Structure 1
Amino acid sequence: MMHRAMMTVCRAMALVGGLVLIALITLVCVSIMGRALNGVLHGMGDFALAKTLLNLGIGPVTGDFELVEAGMAFAIFAFLPLCQITGAHASVDIFTSKLPPWGLRVLKAAIEVLFATVLIIIALQLYEGTQSKMRSGQTTFLLQFPIWWAYLASLFAASLAALVACYMVVLRFWAVLTADESLLETDAQ
């Protein structure tokens, strides 16, 4: 029951991250097309349609790189909880394939502890960064939105990833102690 709830939350966060990623890809495409069209229109000289389109503001999206920078950080952290709970991180099985089942369970538990430690440290650093950006009132250069907004979004996703990592530590140690990995199985529901 608990695992199913955690999976649901992780999938929802990954879905939000995916939607943000799609929005960022769309933004970049629109900005690139606007930049290219702007160059073509400037090359047309005194052509009336070109002047009209340029006056409408055809060109790159203002602050596109600021939005991509903020959004990508969130998207990356948004995918981590699902990656963590499903064990979908990249791995090399050259040495581990020779381990006995109990050795593999111990190794996986140790790796979960390492992941949890790193994700907790990242979340704490993002918390400190968010606090610092809030106190300083720092904004982005072009769009002038507060930088702490991006930090806060990333902090939320990183905190969820750290929570899921701690949950996985408990499950992995349970698997080591009982040799029962049934709680670790991810269902397709």
Structure 2
Amino acid sequence: MLSTLRRLADGLIGLSATIGSLGLIFQVVVILADVTGRHFGRPLTGAQDLSQMAMVILVFGAMALCDRLGGHIAVDIFETSFPPWFNRLTDVVSALIGVLIFVGIAWTVYESSKLSQMLNLSTNVIRLPKVYFQWALCAFSLVAALGMLLRTAELILAGRDIRKEPA
């Protein structure tokens, strides 16, 4: 059961990271076009809008993979001083706190997206609708939260930390 969920979660995490990677490539292309255009006196119109929205995709698209690989900041200077059960407990608690944080982000941004949709909010220069990027942020946050929740279940039920295994 957990292995099936893990395969499904890894697929979602991989998709999320791939979309985040596409956001990074897009970001680089936008910056390159804008800088080159500025050199010739023709900057890319809306480069700031495109960069801001690409950053949403880039950062939150990669968040689930960061957790899957154990890339979040961890202070482990006392880890060797504590018994293994306590270290596992802190891993479980920190994963649950992460779930709450990312669900909170998703909920807050979803509530904000309703306002953006109602008022037709868009970016300043090229008028990109903000709501689609807010929905993407919600989806990426929920994928990260689900990954953390599954990691919690694996720590409790299987006694294994997925962050220490190859992706």
Deviation at 1:182, TM superposition (A): 6.7
Report the 3-state secondary structure (helix = DSSP H, G, I; strand = E; otherwise coil) of the residue aligned with 1:139.
coil
Listed as ranges, the matches of 1:2-151 within 5 Å are: 2-38=5-41, 59-151=42-134
2:146 to 163, 166, 176: 163
8 Å Cα contact 1:13-1:79 kept in structure 2: yes
Whole-angstrom CA distance in 1 between matches of 2:96 and 2:28: 34
Identical columns (%)? 23
In structure 2, do the counterparts of structure 1 residues 173 and 60 end up closer, same or farther at CA, with 3 Å as the change threshold?
Answer: same
Structure 1: which 5+ residue stretches go unaligned?
A: 39-58
Does residue 1:181 correspond to 2:160, yes or no?
A: yes
Deviation at 1:183, TM superposition (A): 6.2
**Bigger relative contact order, structure 1 or 2 (CA pairs below 8 A, ≥6 apart):** 2
Structural RMSD (CA): 1.7
Structure 2: which 5+ residue stretches go unaligned?
A: none
Whole-angstrom CA distance in 2 between matches of 1:35 and 1:26: 14
Whole-angstrom CA distance in 2 between matches of 1:187 and 1:95: 25
Q: Deviations over 1:109-144 (max 9, x none)?
A: 011111111111001001111111001111222212
4+ residue stretches of structure 1 with deviation over 6 A?
none
